[in-house]
Amino acid sequence: MKKILRSLFVITCSVYASLTLAQSYVGLKLGHAEIMSDLESSSSLGWYLGHAVSENFAVELNYDSFGDADIEGVDVELSADALSVYGVFKVDIKTGVTPYAKMGLARLRVKQEANCCGIDDESNYETQFAYGVGLMGGSKKLNVRLEYSAINADEEKLANFSLGIQIGI
């Protein structure tokens, strides 16, 4: 019976410690995206929801809308958005600025809309490797984030530079 009570005590203390260490956060970001290398750039908008598992690691769910890009010479418009899951690795360097790197998977949707030429509207979905690096600074409750992220889509790379605000909840 003592072993069971000790085990329950250790488990309770471990769960309590992990819950007090953990911090959840939400954020909003605005950016500049390049859907494909030979197309015009566009504005991007995104949000993210994260949970800090430890001081140096968090798990994030991101949604990004990469805007629209026109194909020159043809009346065709491309738009892209992605829902991504990342592992975020942070390094606290005690200067008020925290660098981080993130890796994960993105469910990418590229939508093609044509207004002429008998081209059909079409949406393609694919799951791709996603990654990013950035800097954040502020407090535990409010941070500013500057980030570069990319999704490798077939032979092209979708790149996004963004500035965001993160709020601890």
Task: Determine phi and psi for 165, rounding to 5 degrees.
Answer: -120, 130
Residue 37 pLDDT more than 90?
A: no
Least confident segment among 31-40, 80-89, 104-113, 135-144: 31-40
Alpha-carbon distance of 45 to 49, in angstroms, equals 14
Q: Residues 40-50: what's their mean pLDDT?
A: 88
Q: What is the pLDDT of residue 166?
A: 95
Q: Tell me the whole-structure pTM to 2 decimals.
A: 0.77
Query: What CATH code would you report for 23-168?
Result: 2.40.160.20
Percentage of the chain lying above the pLDDT 70 cut: 73
Percentage of the chain lying above the pLDDT 90 cut: 48
Q: What is the pLDDT of residue 51?
A: 95
Q: What is the pLDDT of residue 76?
A: 64
Listed by start position, the domains of the chain span 23-168
- Pairing verdict, β 142-153 and 57-71: unpaired
Residue 67 pLDDT more than 90?
A: no
Alpha-carbon distance of 90 to 113, in angstroms, equals 40
